[in-house]
Amino acid sequence: MISAVKYSSTTISCAASVEQPRWFAVYTHPRHEKAVSDQLEKRGVEAFLPTFTSESQWKDRRVKITQPLFPGYVFARIRMEEKIRVVSSPSVIRIVSFNGMPAAISEREIESVRLCSERGALLEVCPFLEVGERVRVRAGAFEGVEGFVVNRKNGCKLVISIGVIHQSVAIEINAEQLERLSSVGYDNGSIQ
């Protein structure tokens, strides 16, 4: 950003970077998400790698495995001039972009995923929804989280999406805790 400073009758232009850091999706090599997240943190870049734990049956026992919620992606909060610190990290393929420009992710989307993760929600990966009813949790442990409501045979789920990478996660929630933000007309959000 260029700003102009006026001294007496002379105008002086100077480059001043007042750009706020924004969240971007960093596309990684397969199964390198944790390594990329660690590398970014070492380089002074705020990174966010949401994970979930699943159980797997090995030959002789059941084990708990921590996996990335969004395979192949790590989220980095940077200013555009810091882009080189991200793309030069080992195992980073690129920053997700549209029309040649890195695509910023809404702070609200990242904070919704972070809030659910920190508060112990049992997150599950689900298909990305482009249409549906947008809602906000108005009470309870997940108050303030926004997403799309999906009714399933076994109850109500709140789908939280990261639009830039077309990926979503879902949590079970009581429908009475939700308030409508807007209606897009997705057959009441029903998925069978």
In Å, how far are 20, 96, 152, 176, 178 from 155, measured between CA atoms? 40, 34, 5, 12, 14
pLDDT, one tens digit per residue, over 73-110 is 999 999 999 999 999 999 999 999 999 999 999 999 99
Section 28-49 average pLDDT? 97
**Is 87 within 8 Å of 95 (Cβ atoms)?**
yes
Task: Please report the pLDDT score of residue 68 as a whole number.
Answer: 94
Domains of the chain: 20-105 (3.30.70.940), 106-187 (2.30.30)
Q: What is the pLDDT of residue 129?
A: 40
The pLDDT-based confidence of 56 (bands split at 50, 70, 90) is confident
Write down the mean pLDDT value for the chain: 81
Per-residue confidence (pLDDT) for residue 176, from 0 to 100: 75
pLDDT of residue 7: 33
